């Protein structure tokens, strides 16, 4: 079984493409079920955040698994696979492990070092576990990725600045307003994880008064009470917009909440001398309708603009330290994976030995019917002990050797020497990273086998 990551992020896709790919929490069980229902996919975890949508999968073959995942994504987005491929990237085996660990540590985030991705990965793993779409391989990968992410944050200063997508967006808002956010009235639309971070960050920066609105009023009230903010009904959204300078929009709504009509009405009642109304759209799909950015007196900062403007924060030394942690942890995971790959060969060898012993004991019973039951039992125990002792050192050693680079050859030799029928596995870590536009034609076409070096 092989690891495969297929995804799109702010690096490879505009927010419009990410919107098409985004999977709402309520739709995750169905999407996961569709993935593992495919012929080549046995396990799946789906990560869908404001700046990335990724499928982590255990597959029985590279091309089959890639075709299956692309088919499900194409089906859910309504985008032809060929067009979808323009925004996708693919990581296979060792590259997939490295990517997972870089994501968990924040190295692949828009704001390098942000810690929110750990919670998002944990949620994705929780959803997949609940949907029973994770097995041994993805359980181990996700658990290790979360551990590596925590290690990076505890052992380095990559998150020393406390940066997040919210803090970076508010930093851009400060530049647009030509002042800090102290005493600036603000509104947070959405009471989920990102909305909570928005309220907390605005409160820490001294913005205020801060209002919170959400379709589920109870969540808005609880969040507001936690930070001394005010909960307002979603029905009062337009009126509240006219009284604030900054809006953090981070809902999970499938359609825009801040439409051109809503914002236009709010602007009509807003004093233009207060400066621009800054709308920070941190949701995918977008909370702010695209046409809103054309309105006079409005500044919209969405994921596309964030990607173009935000400066990555950690010091080079901290980022380099995390890269070293990732490299070490990738090697350790690959060693474990190689050891796991040799286990079926060892099991097959011991099974072959047990079969041989059983056959020979049966022959002995036919040739020596005069042996008592006690004598037969003693002979059987003796033969089994001899076989187990003979196999012990070779099987221990082959596990050790298999954990080293190139160690798959030892398991292959065992299979050849003893004519063992074990499903073949290709070496882990020998396949280069594959870029989808070059590797994946429209479904039904032929793609070059990565094991031959094709990218």
Cβ atoms of residues 384 and 357 within 8 Å: yes
Report the run of H or E that residue 325 belongs to, with start and end.
Answer: helix 316-367
Q: Is the dihedral of CA 209, 213, 218, 222 positive or negative?
A: negative
Q: What share of the chain is helix, strand, coil (3-state, %, to 5)?
A: 55, 10, 30
Catalytic residue among 15, 50, 152, 247: 50
Residue 122 CB-half CA count within 13 A: 12
In the residue annotation, 70 being an active-site residue is answered as no
| Strand-pair category, 277-281 with 246-249 | parallel
What pairs with residue 70 in β-bridges?
none
Structure tokens at 26: 């309520």
Token pair of 408 as six digits: 């798959």
CB contact at 8 A, 344 and 422 = yes
Query: In whole angstroms, what is the distance from residue 276 CA to residue 177 CA?
Result: 7
Number of alpha carbons in the 13 Å side-chain half-sphere of residue 244:
28
Q: Are 106 and 22 in contact (CB under 8 A)?
A: no
The Cα–Cα gap between 353 and 190 comes to 63
CA distance 409 to 428: 12
Nearest residue to 53 via CA among 142, 150, 124: 124
The two structure tokens encoding residue 133? 């779409």
Please choose, from the candidates 9, 7, 10, the residue with its C-alpha nearest in 3D space to the C-alpha of residue 305. 10
Q: Of 192, 185, 168, nearest to 25 (Cα)?
A: 192
The residues assigned a catalytic role are: 50
């Amino acid at each position: 079984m092989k690891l495969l990551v297929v995804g799109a992020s702010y690096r490879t896709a505009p927010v419009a493409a990410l919107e098409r790919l985004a999977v709402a929490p309520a739709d995750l069980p169905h999407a996961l079920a569709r993935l593992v229902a495919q012929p080549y996919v046995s396990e799946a975890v789906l990560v869908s955040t404001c700046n990335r949508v990724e499928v982590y999968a255990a597959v029985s073959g590279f091309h089959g698994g890639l075709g299956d995942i692309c088919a499900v994504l194409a089906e859910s987005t309504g985008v032809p696979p060929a067009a979808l491929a323009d925004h996708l990237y693919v990581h296979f085996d060792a590259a997939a492990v490295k990517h997972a660990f870089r994501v968990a540590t924040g190295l692949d985030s828009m704001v390098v070092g942000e810690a929110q991705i750990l919670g998002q990965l944990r949620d994705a793993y929780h959803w997949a576990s609940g949907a029973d779409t994770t097995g041994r391989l993805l359980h181990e990968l996700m658990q290790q990725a979360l551990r590596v992410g925590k290690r990076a944050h505890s052992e380095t200063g990559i998150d020393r600045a406390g940066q997040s997508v919210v803090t970076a967006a508010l930093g851009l808002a400060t530049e647009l307003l030509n002042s800090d956010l102290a005493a600036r009235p603000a509104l947070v639309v959405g009471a989920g994880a990102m909305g909570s971070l928005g309220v907390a960050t605005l409160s820490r920066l001294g913005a205020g008064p801060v209002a919170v609105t959400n379709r589920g009023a109870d969540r808005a009230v609880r969040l507001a009470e936690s930070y001394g903010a005010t909960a307002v009904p979603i029905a009062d959204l337009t009126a509240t917009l006219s009284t604030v300078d900054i809006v953090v929009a981070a809902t999970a709504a499938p359609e825009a909440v801040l439409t051109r009509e809503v914002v236009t009405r709010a602007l009509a009642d807003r004093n233009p001398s207060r400066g621009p109304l800054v709308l920070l759209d941190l949701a995918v799909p977008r909370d702010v309708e695209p046409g809103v950015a054309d309105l006079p007196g409005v500044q919209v900062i969405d994921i596309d603009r964030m990607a173009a403007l935000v400066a990555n924060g950690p010091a080079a030394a901290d980022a380099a330290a995390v890269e070293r942690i990732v490299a070490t942890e990738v090697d350790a995971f690959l060693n474990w994976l190689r050891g796991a790959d040799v286990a079926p060969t060892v099991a097959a060898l011991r099974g072959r030995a047990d079969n041989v012993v059983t056959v020979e004991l049966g022959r002995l019973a036919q040739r020596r019917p005069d042996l008592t039951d006690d004598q037969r039992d003693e002979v059987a125990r003796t033969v089994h002990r001899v076989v187990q002792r003979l196999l012990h050192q070779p099987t221990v050693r082959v596990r050790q050797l298999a954990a080293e680079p190139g160690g798959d050859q030892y398991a292959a030799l065992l299979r050849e020497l003893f004519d063992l029928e074990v499903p073949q596995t290709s070496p882990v870590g020998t396949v280069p990273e594959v870029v989808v536009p070059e590797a994946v034609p429209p479904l039904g076409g032929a793609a070059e086998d990565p094991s031959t070096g094709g990218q």
